[in-house]
Chains A and B, each alone.
Chain A
Amino acid sequence: MSMTEIILVVCYILFAPLLGGLLDGIDRKISARMQRRVGPPLLQPFYDVVKLFSKQVIIVSRSQIFFLLSYFVLIVLTGAMFFAGTDILLCFFVMSTGATFLYFAGMVTSTPYSTMGANRELLQMLAYEPAVLLTCVGFYLAEGTFNVSEIATSKYSAILYLPGFFIAFVFILTIKMRKSPFDLSTSHHMHQELVKGLTTEMGARNLAIFQVTEWYENVFLLGVVGLYIVNASYYSLIAVVLVVLFTFFLEILIDNTSARVKWDTMLKLSWGVTIFTAGINLIILMIIK
């Protein structure tokens, strides 16, 4: 591991929650402006987490905190591995394992809303997993390696070879970031049909851990978006920041302009888009390479 990679990993572990929380605050502010409201202060997500940590903890199931901490550790590990420049395939496997622990955290409470939310979380995983795996395949076909540091320092940006894969990945990012129309398992917005879905039985400290893990995860996912753009030239970093911010804005726009769909529509749409865009891209890539 080189010095830059160590610095990147340390920066990720220390600053990803700050960046994720800030992005969440920007998200809420922009959403409010889109609805012609003033909206909460920019640092509102941090105020929320501080409050959640100081509240009384009511335990519904003793093992829930274990599953949530496992989810937290695995997601932090995913991001740390990604920014350390290791195998991208392994990063996504660890992320999926983390998501499974979240499913268990919802499931152990055995209450109706939480269980239904957990089941929908599994359906969401089913919907986004093909696009995630194809992303890895695409990177390998384009750059000849799964190694993040080698992909990031290649001569040309990966998006030149993988525009279809990029569209598929941004599409499933809506599911992963829990944005409407695909916020089936749990939603950032008030009152959905499952109350709070997966997080119904998470209060105080447990919800705060969930929230911070989400921030880590979002920074990692936006990092993968950046990996499509970055190349050996330092100027590409400017493009990375612009594309990541644009993608984030696009997610907020989709969130505010669409209504929640049923799970089968989500599955058909995400698989359809994945097979269509990434599939065609894959065939072309295999012919010309």
Chain B
Amino acid sequence: MANIKRSPWLLHYDGSSCNGCDIEVLACLTPIYDAERFGVMNTGDPMQADILLITGGINAQNQPTVKQLYEQMPRPKVVVAVGVCACTGGVFKECYNILGGADTTIPVDIYVPGCAARPQAIIDGIVKAVDLFQKRLEEHYEKKRGQGGNEVSANG
């Protein structure tokens, strides 16, 4: 079993966030917190990402996008909802266009509450996600044996 814990690459998606959590996510990469200590990289490319970091709630317009990003990420993958909006919908929950938290659209593994979530809490969430990421690899190997190979075509 390969040790993949030391190399989690992030994909950060901003839903209908107020940008508070997004700034805190970026703060994790600054010299004070430096998430790259754990091998974390902010890729911006779903094909290369391991952990999907969602900030902000899901609305009618970004729902297909979130779904597509999740599907484009290769297994094993972990989803982290950052901030109370991504967890439940937050203060925007009752808005006519908001469907709720990220878990209305894709399976969320780790919830990081807070408004805005503090960088310490986000890094804590990522560290938890990394442990899960390693566990998912075992599941991935089992599925791989089931489907008879490691390859899937993007065109279905």
Contacts of A51 in B (CB 8 A): 2, 4, 6-7, 50
B9 to chain A, nearest CB (A): 8
Q: Which of A54, A201, A204 has the most CB of B within 10 A?
A: A54
Contacts of B137 in A (CB 8 A): 54
Asked if A35 and B74 sit within 8 Å, CB to CB, the answer is no
CB-based nearest A residue for B71 = A58
Contact pattern, A 126-138, Cβ under 8 Å of B = 1, otherwise 0: 0000000000000
A28 to chain B, nearest CB (A): 8
Stretch at the interface among B38-46, B58-66, B95-103, B112-120: B38-46
Classify chain A's interface size.
35 or more
Within A47-67, which residues are at the interface with B (CB < 8 Å)? 47-48, 50-51, 53-60, 62
Within B24-66, which residues are at the interface with A (CB < 8 Å)? 31, 34, 36-39, 41-45, 47-48, 50
A53 vs B141: C-alpha distance when bound (angstroms): 12
Classify chain B's interface size.
20 to 34
Stretch at the interface among A38-46, A143-151, A227-235: A38-46
Asked if A50 and B4 sit within 8 Å, CB to CB, the answer is yes
Contacts of B9 in A (CB 8 A): 48
Asked if B36 and A32 sit within 8 Å, CB to CB, the answer is yes
> Out of A40, A50, A199, A203, which one reaches B74, CB within 8 Å?
A203
Q: Which of B7, B72, B140 has the most CB of A within 10 A?
A: B7
Contact pattern, A 174-198, Cβ under 8 Å of B = 1, otherwise 0: 0000000000000000110001100
Contacts of A196 in B (CB 8 A): 43-45, 48
Residue B75 interfacial (CB < 8 Å): yes
Contacts of B74 in A (CB 8 A): 55-58, 203-204
Residue A240 interfacial (CB < 8 Å): no
Contacts of B150 in A (CB 8 A): 56-57, 205
Asked if A58 and B154 sit within 8 Å, CB to CB, the answer is yes
> Out of B7, B37, B45, which one reaches A195, CB within 8 Å?
B45
User: Once A and B bind, how many residue pairs between them come within 8 Å at the CB atom?
Assistant: 102
Q: Which of B36, B43, B44, B154 has the most CB of A within 10 A?
A: B36
A38 vs B35: C-alpha distance when bound (angstroms): 9
Residue A37 interfacial (CB < 8 Å): yes
A224 vs B45: C-alpha distance when bound (angstroms): 34
Given the contacts A37-B36, A38-B34, A55-B74, A44 and B6 also touching, CB distance less than 8 Å: yes
A207 vs B152: C-alpha distance when bound (angstroms): 16
Given the contacts A50-B3, A54-B4, A37 and B48 also touching, CB distance less than 8 Å: no
Contacts of A191 in B (CB 8 A): 42, 44
CB-based nearest B residue for A31 = B36
A287 vs B48: C-alpha distance when bound (angstroms): 54
> Out of B6, B31, B42, B75, which one reaches A37, CB within 8 Å?
B31
Residue B90 interfacial (CB < 8 Å): no
Given the contacts A32-B34, A47-B6, A191-B42, A56 and B152 also touching, CB distance less than 8 Å: yes
Residue A97 interfacial (CB < 8 Å): no
User: Known pairs A40-B38, A56-B152. 17 more at Cβ < 8 A?
Assistant: A37-B37, A44-B6, A47-B6, A47-B39, A50-B4, A50-B7, A51-B2, A51-B7, A56-B75, A56-B140, A56-B144, A58-B74, A58-B153, A190-B43, A191-B44, A196-B44, A196-B48
Kindly list the 9 A-B residue pairs having the minimum CB-CB distance in the complex, ordered from nearest: A203-B47, A56-B74, A56-B75, A47-B6, A51-B4, A51-B7, A190-B42, A54-B2, A37-B34
Residues of A within 8 A of B (CB): 28, 32, 35-41, 44, 47-48, 50-51, 53-60, 62, 190-191, 195-196, 199-205, 207
Residues of B within 8 A of A (CB): 2-4, 6-7, 9, 31, 34, 36-39, 41-45, 47-48, 50, 72, 74-76, 137, 140, 144, 150-154
Sample (10) of A-B pairs whose CB atoms are under 8 Å apart: A36-B31, A38-B34, A51-B7, A53-B2, A54-B137, A55-B4, A191-B42, A195-B45, A196-B43, A199-B48
